[in-house]
């Protein structure tokens, strides 16, 4: 008797069914991404404050840092910065030690989802290496700030675990803790702004 294949899709609030093993751009909606990321906690929820620090909030900060570091960056890459953790709306945010323990499988799933998300919103399936490097820098600056501001890391420990170039500015950035609905709305608003800029050719 043949065994039934295991279910590999998740039903989204939009009604879409996203196949985690074979995601397509047609099954991706920004509202699902924004909603999911607003309810996924960074640092496994081990942060100070009355609200978890969500992946959506982190993504907004990364896009701000990316744009500040490279103000002349193409708007497509600013959108890519906002979406850099978008796959986590369906696979969750795993801290680095867990990702290392899981090995390549998590990374492959993340890459497939990222590729489908990029194509859904007019970005290349795979980002240019230089763009990925700049987004990674903004991501690391954000992680460094989060570590000391809300995640309980001592400054020396954060410097060791999240190194950034001496030229990178760590001043003037604000870690916001907001109810998920507010963060979701802010994420959707920023996405709409960037899409409008893309459509207008900026």
pLDDT digits (tens, 9 = 90+) for 114-156: 999 999 999 999 999 999 999 999 999 999 999 999 999 999 9
Domain ranges of the chain: 26-199
Locus of tokens 């609200």: 51
Residue-level pLDDT at 174? 86
> In a 10 Å sphere around its CB, with 0-12 CB exposed, 13-18 middle and 19+ buried, how is residue 5 labelled?
exposed
Phi, psi dihedrals of residue 60, rounded to the nearest 5°: -60, -40
Give me the mean pLDDT over the 168-187 stretch.
91
Confidence of residue 103 (pLDDT cuts 50, 70, 90): low
Enter the DSSP assignment of 6.
P
Q: Take residue 41 and report the two structure tokens written for it.
A: 């906690």
Q: Take residue 109 and report the two structure tokens written for it.
A: 């799933």
Confidence of residue 102 (pLDDT cuts 50, 70, 90): low
Q: Take residue 10 and report the two structure tokens written for it.
A: 């998740």
Give me the mean pLDDT over the 154-181 stretch.
89
Strands 9-11 and 17-19, by their bridges, are antiparallel
Residue-level pLDDT at 49? 92
State the Cα–Cα distance between residues 47 and 62, nearest whole angstrom.
18
Confidence of residue 176 (pLDDT cuts 50, 70, 90): confident
Residue-level pLDDT at 6? 65
Residue-level pLDDT at 80? 98
Give me the mean pLDDT over the 53-69 stretch.
96
Counting Cα atoms < 13 Å in the Cβ hemisphere of 162 gives: 22
Per residue in 10-60, pLDDT tens? 888 898 999 888 899 999 999 999 999 999 999 999 999 999 999 999 999
What average pLDDT does the chain have? 90
Give me the mean pLDDT over the 73-92 stretch.
94
Query: Domain 26-199, what fold?
Result: Hypothetical protein af1432 (1.10.3210)
């Amino acid at each position: 008797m043949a065994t039934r294949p295991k279910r590999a899709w998740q039903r989204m609030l939009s009604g879409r069914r996203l196949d985690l093993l074979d995601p397509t751009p047609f099954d991706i909606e920004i509202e699902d991404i924004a909603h999911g990321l607003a309810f996924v906690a960074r640092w496994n929820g081990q942060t100070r404050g009355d609200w978890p620090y969500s992946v959506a909030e982190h993504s907004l900060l990364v896009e701000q840092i990316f744009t500040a570091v490279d103000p002349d960056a193409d708007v497509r890459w600013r959108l890519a910065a906002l979406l850099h953790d978008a796959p986590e709306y369906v696979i969750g945010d795993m801290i680095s030690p867990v990702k290392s323990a899981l090995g390549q499988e998590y990374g492959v799933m993340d890459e497939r989802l990222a590729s489908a998300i990029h194509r859904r919103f007019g970005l290349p399936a795979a980002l240019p290496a230089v763009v990925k490097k700049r987004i990674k820098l903004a991501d690391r600056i954000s992680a460094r700030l989060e570590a000391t501001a809300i995640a309980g890391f001592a400054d020396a420990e954060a410097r060791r675990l999240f190194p950034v170039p001496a030229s990178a500015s760590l001043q003037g950035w604000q870690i916001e803790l907001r109810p998920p609905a507010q963060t979701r709305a802010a994420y959707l608003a920023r996405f709409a702004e960037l899409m409008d800029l893309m459509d207008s050719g900026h």
